[in-house]
Structures are given as structure tokens and as C-alpha cells.
Structure 1
């Protein structure tokens, strides 16, 4: 598993509105896994706000920004779509499409003002919606006897390990998800905790979502 397979994206689809010098800017964001989904979202939002002055947009698809596109939709060249795309990229977001709708308020902003307005509308919308880190993890399944469950549960809680499932039968079967690089260390610690009386099974690999709380996306 490569660390590059872990990536940041928005927590959920949503929108956020700001007013700058009487112009209304509405940033609508969606998770999109391919250009077709991105184009469909752009079309949907442009139809929703068909009476707007402009519906500008940008998207980035793929873990290495493999597919990107930006449109100023009638604003001066380079003042809307590209600043929106750069805002997404500065926050290290992947597989996201943004449409920023503008209702002109009568006061011209100038090229610099437009760039700041479109960029800020994206950044503030992302901060309002939230960001998650999608992490490719391995499921590990093991069983413990009832008398040992409390100490295992305490260990899992103390180490912030994601417990996916707990089944109560003859023993207690626990399913956890871990980054692959942490699997061997986890097994060693559980073996030590239970004095070697434990067997492990590998389950599925899947992406799990971890909330990013401090908006410090550059460190992720």
C-alpha cells in the first residue's frame, strides 16, 4: 500500500455563500470520481442558478491531479476558474468539483478583487463543509475471552484504533481497521497484551474517512 493512496477530500457535498461589495458568491462543492461526474454536477448547478451573472467552475480528478479543468464563464480570463482550481490544490483536495455562482451587485471588483473573491469563496466553503482524509486500511479480525475484553477495549481506545465490529459469542470477536504499515506492530502489542493467546485473520481492504479538525491541510 502506498501512502499516495491516502488522500484528502471534502466531508460531504454542500455549498456556502459570501457577499463581497454587494456581489453574492455561492460556492457549491461535490465529490466527483471522474470527469463525467464533474461535468454532470457543473450542469446541475448551472441549471439551478441559471439566472446568475456567472457560473464559474473548477475540478481536479485523480490522486495526482490527473484530470483538471477550469472555466471563467465570461469573467475576465484567469480571474475565476484558475483561482478556484488553485484553492483546491493548495488545500490538497482530490476528486472535488466546485462551481462558484456570482450574482453581480453593481460594484466592479477589478481583476485582483475577482481572483481573491473566487479563491476565498472556495476556501471558506471547504472550511464550512469540512475535510476528511480517505485512508486505505486493512481489516484485522481477532477473538478475545470475556475476562480479557476490558483491557483490550482500553488498549484500542487509548491508541485511537477504529473498531468496525464487535460480535459476542463463545468469545468476543473484534474487527479493527489499520494502516498497513501499522499492522505488524498492532499484532505484536495484542500478542503481548494477551500473552500470546490470539490468532489474527485478514479481512477486507477499504477506504475509511478520518475527519481533519484543524484545517491545516498542508500537513496531511
Structure 2
């Protein structure tokens, strides 16, 4: 995987917004999520908080490896709510993010074009009110070596900016680590040049 393909955009924390149009109020929420179950929990919490609202429209984009997405209009005219929320996520290129926009009707109908603008704007403003960050896709690995090659193994791990998640120093030296996918094979090749050293990892 190339360097461009093993990074993706997401958000650091929840963002919120409030958009008003002709008496209607649109409360926007965006938040980090990793799977559908986590999204459903967040959606349920927002529905509880806004139990008097008639519409809790949403969209999400999950999994940087194989993007899964969904949009739901929750009773609004077809493609007037969930789809524009999804478009806001797509325009920001964020993944592992859910978005919910809650509408309180103000007495004046907005029409389909007005709804599309309101739902998209509420989602966009919620994204603007959080921080977009870049994350790296990683593989996990394990290295076992003897003390004679310990310093060389540590050098290789540091050279490729691997994060050591576990270290055991007994009769031999064992490291569990995570490293960016684009350099995984290079690290593996270098470690395997060492004697009395084994490399196990997802490739």
C-alpha cells in the first residue's frame, strides 16, 4: 500500500451546530465512530436528548479499508435529509464519522430544496466546529531476538517510527509493535537479516 493510501481523515472529537431557517431549528452532531453498533448507541442518546423532535436524520461513513456508508431521512422527503448529511461527510473526506441532524419544525414548510440546504449546512457547521485529523493505517507485529541483536532491533523500530505496545525482557527479548502499513514490509525485511531473530506480523 502506498503512502497516500495508508492515511485517512477523521475527526478528533464531537462537533455540534445549530442552524435556523424560517422558525425551524436544526441541531447538528458529528462524532467519531468505528462501527454500526457504536453509531446506533450515539443515535439513541441523541434521540433521548431530543425526544420531542420529529426527525432525527443521519448518515455515516465507516472503515477506511472498504468504506461503508448509510443515509437515513427519518420521515423527511426522500433524499432531502440523509443524503445531504452524507454529502457533507464526503466533501470533508472524513471516515469513521457519524452525523445526526435533529429538526424541530417551526411552522413554515421549507420545501425539498430548503431541507437539503438546512440539513447539509447543519452537518457542515458541526464538522467545522470540531477538528479534522489525519490517522495512519497500521499493522501489528511481534519480534523475538537475543540480547546480542537487541540494539539493532530497537534501531529498526525507531527508524520506521514503530510504536512499541509491549516489551518483555527475559531469556530473550520480545517486542509487540504497530507500524504504518506502507513501511511494514521494509521493516520485516531488515529484521529478518538478523540472526536468532524472528518476525511475526499481519501482512
The TM-score with structure 1 as length reference comes to 0.61
SS in 1 for 2:188: helix
Shift of 1:53: 6.0
Aligned equivalent of 1:69: 71
Shift of 1:105: 7.0
Distance 1:106 1:153, change over 3 A: farther
Aligned equivalent of 1:216: none
Distance 1:17 1:176, change over 3 A: same
Aligned length: 197
8 Å CA contact retained: 1:9, 1:31: no
Could you tell me how far apart the structure 1 residues matched to 2:40 and 2:176 are? Answer: 39
8 Å CA contact retained: 1:61, 1:68: no
Distance 1:183 1:96, change over 3 A: closer
Aligned equivalent of 2:161: 160
Provide structure 1 residue ranges, at least 5 long, that are not aligned to the other structure. 207-220
Could you tell me how far apart the structure 2 residues matched to 1:191 and 1:135 are? Answer: 23
Tell me the C-alpha RMSD between the 2 structures. 4.4
8 Å CA contact retained: 1:30, 1:98: no
Provide structure 2 residue ranges, at least 5 long, that are not aligned to the other structure. none
8 Å CA contact retained: 2:146, 2:197: no
Shift of 1:137: 1.3
Distance 1:148 1:140, change over 3 A: closer
Encode CA deviations 1:142-169: one digit per residue, 9 max, x unaligned: 33537853x6545433432222222233
> Which residue of the other structure, out of 147, 167, 174, is the alignment partner of 1:145?
147
Matched, 1:200 2:198: yes
Correspondences of 1:107-186 after superposition (within 5 Å) = 114-126=115-127, 128=130, 130-131=132-133, 133=135, 135=137, 137-143=139-145, 145=147, 149=151, 152-178=153-179, 182-186=183-187
Correspondences of 1:45-56 after superposition (within 5 Å) = 45-52=46-53, 54-56=55-57
Matched, 1:99 2:97: no
Matched, 1:14 2:9: no
Encode CA deviations 1:16-50: one digit per residue, 9 max, x unaligned: 1244568452314352634x665554344223202
Could you tell me how far apart the structure 1 residues matched to 2:183 and 2:149 are? Answer: 26
Aligned equivalent of 2:83: 82
